[in-house]
Amino acid sequence: MLNTAAIVALMKNSGLFSVTDLNIQTIGQLFSLASQFKHSFVRHKQFLRRNESLSYKSVALVFFESSTRTRFSFEMACNRLGIRPVTFIANSTTSIKKGETALDTLLNLHAVQPDAFIIRSDEDEGVREFFKTSQKPCISAGYGKFHHPTQALLDAFTIKERLGEIKGKKIVFIGDVRHSRVAHSNKSLLLALGAEVAICSPKDFMPSPSEWGEVENFEQLTSALDWCDVAMSLRVQKERHSTKADLSNFIQNYQLNKKSIGSLSDKAIIMHPGPFVVDEEITRDIVKDSRTVIHQQVENGVYVRAALLQKVLGDR
């Protein structure tokens, strides 16, 4: 269940760690603002609702893990709103290389007084602690295996845009669900918005019921695709595996390709949070399929993240 006290938290501009920090009303407000940004950008190539007070704000983007879409779209959202983003990437040119912890790095960046933080990291207790204690709002750009709230928001926004509504829609997560923070955050958000969710995964990639609850698992990809309105393909997250995955079995039974998607309805959509690995979970045919909305998801990421930044920073 979504936390009903959360709107108060978000109103106090304390940021966003997990989708459970959101309630239905806040999600509605974010989607409506994101739509306004999208419409004004499509028509006028700028965000007409731009709040001038944001021009004096600076936001620290702190990435302890690699990222392409999430970082770029947060930076683009800042730019379109007039916010100044300052990006820190924990690579070999930073003091992380010298042994500084993620928490100490964050506390030092905090001392420089950005107005907010956008942070991506693995499951690091120090980073979690920073989210709880920072005086500035912190937005998660992905944390460990379970949290990626802004990806879930932009995916839900895209489903609503393409299918008209989320309530009653059937979404199946295909592939490495166990290690996917995208699937985990999406599942919580979509259930709260009235969707039905299921998975289609080999045994090694199935999430534990204690983490996911009792969610239907389709053994056959054909049945999953026949059932769903949305097929969300997931990358095999090798960097999170403790043992080597059986890729050939995965490709044979769970890959989305021209042949395997035969039972998917013409009205259904195919999603992927990216990055996709061609010829593993998905083939080039699928990337090009007219039902595929991968680039629409990425584009919507800018509007949804801008809406969140506006909400978190706009009244400060």
Of 120 and 162, nearer to ligand NCD (C-beta) is: 120
Shortest distance, position 67 Cβ to ligand NCD, whole Å: 6
| 142 belongs to the binding site for ligand NCD (CB under 6 A) | yes
DSSP secondary structure of 72-118: HHHHHHHHHHT-EEEEEE-STTSGGGGT--HHHHHHHHHHT--SEEE
Shortest distance, position 232 Cβ to ligand NCD, whole Å: 11
Q: Which of 136, 162, 181, 311 binds ligand NCD (CB under 6 A)?
A: 181
Shortest distance, position 234 Cβ to ligand NCD, whole Å: 7
Q: Which of 273, 293, 311, 312 binds ligand NCD (CB under 6 A)?
A: 273
Shortest distance, position 205 Cβ to ligand NCD, whole Å: 13
Q: Which of 69, 160, 170, 240 binds ligand NCD (CB under 6 A)?
A: 69
Of 23 and 180, nearer to ligand NCD (C-beta) is: 180
Shortest distance, position 98 Cβ to ligand NCD, whole Å: 26
| 201 belongs to the binding site for ligand NCD (CB under 6 A) | no
Question: Taking CB positions, which residue lies at the least distance from ligand NCD?
Answer: 235
| 274 belongs to the binding site for ligand NCD (CB under 6 A) | yes
| 237 belongs to the binding site for ligand NCD (CB under 6 A) | yes
| 15 belongs to the binding site for ligand NCD (CB under 6 A) | no
| 151 belongs to the binding site for ligand NCD (CB under 6 A) | yes
| 26 belongs to the binding site for ligand NCD (CB under 6 A) | no
| 144 belongs to the binding site for ligand NCD (CB under 6 A) | no
**Binding-site ranges for ligand NCD (CB under 6 A):** 69-70, 142, 148, 151, 181-182, 235, 237, 273-275
